Each structure stands twice: as structure tokens, then as C-alpha cells.
Amino acid sequence: MKVAIKIRACSQTGFTLVELVIVGALIALLAAIAIPNYLQSRSAAQKSACINNLRQIDAAIQQWAIEQRMPSDATVDSTDIAPYLKRLVICPAGGTTFADSYSISTVSTAPACQRLPLTHVLPASSVDAARSQAQTPPLPGQTRRSSTNRRHLDRLRQSRRVNWARVS
């Protein structure tokens, strides 16, 4: 009888310090695993949304150039392409307006992100595709080599190098 009373009195005191420390350590461990993953996935989502915006801006520039019959070195402004963009495009990594998110210069220059210009970059292959779709005639001095063409040339060069190695 005495023992039972003693146990009940003991269990009513709540958690011991060791239990609290263990629970706290587990929560800290889970947070240490989850937070970097969360930040990484958030920045990846922002990057893909921004690149999608860049693609839309590039398409708008090409459409404007075709409809207004502009040469590839013509300067383009955000007001020129505004009618061709369905909605306001801003960089999800802290952009508030078009002007502080993206920079555009000429028809032949790909639009660039101003918030994170090193990671939010339009892939070269999609730029080439947009340019060939737009069919803007290149200026006499300009020659554009598509990335697939370049890749093919690299492969040719590599195969030649292999053959030379075999001969010698």
C-alpha cells in the first residue's frame, strides 16, 4: 500500500530533466535535417519560376519584333512588350516590379534576371529555339551557331582525336 502511494506521487511530478533534454535534442536534430532541404527546394522553385518568366519575356520580345518589323539590333523597352505579356512578371526572389526584376536591351539579347543574375539564367538551347522560331534575319556580320550544331562539332572533334590516338 505504501509503495503504490509512493509511485503515484512520483509520476505526478511530470517530466525529468533528462527526458526534456532528449526531446529537445530530437527536435533540434529534425530541424537541422529539414531546414536546409526546405531552403534548397524553395530556391529551386524560385529559380524555375524565374526562368519561366524569362522565357515568356523572350517570347514577348520576339513577337513584338515580328509584329513591328524590328531588326535584331533594335532596342526594346518594357512598355513595348507589356501588351504581349499576359500578367506582371517579377522575379520570385525578392522582385517587386518588372524594372527591378529583369533587364532587357535589344531583340537579339536574351532577357536577364537582376535579382540573381548568376543562377536565374535562360538556358542557351531555349534561346536558340526561340530565335529560330521567330525567324528574325541575322545581320550580315552576325552568324549564329546553334548549340546542337556545336555539340555535333565537339563530337566530331573527339572522334578524330580517338582515331589519331589509335594510329599513333
Q: Which C-beta is closer to Zn ion: that of 97 or that of 158?
A: 97
Tell me the residue length of the chain.
168
Task: Out of 60, 76, 91, 122, point to the residue binding Zn ion (CB under 5 A).
Answer: 91
Residue 101 to residues 1, 39, 75, 90, 128: CA-CA distances in angstroms? Answer: 76, 21, 18, 6, 23
- Per CB under 5 A, 104 contacts Zn ion: no
Distance CA 92, CA 115 (A): 9
Supply the minimum distance, in Å, between the C-beta of residue 112 and Zn ion: 9
List binders of Zn ion among 29-58 (CB under 5 A): 50
- Per CB under 5 A, 131 contacts Zn ion: no
- Per CB under 5 A, 110 contacts Zn ion: no
Q: Which C-beta is closer to Zn ion: that of 60 or that of 65?
A: 60
Please answer whether residues 95 and 86 qualify as being in contact, where contact means their C-beta atoms are separated by less than 8 angstroms. Answer: no
Closest CA to 101 of 109, 21, 93: 93
Which among 9-17, 103-111, 120-128, 149-157 is the span making contact with Zn ion, rule CB under 5 A? 120-128
Distance CA 142, CA 32 (A): 52
Task: Out of 76, 90, 104, 113, point to the residue binding Zn ion (CB under 5 A).
Answer: 113
Where does this chain bind Zn ion (CB under 5 A)?
Answer: 50, 91, 113, 115, 120
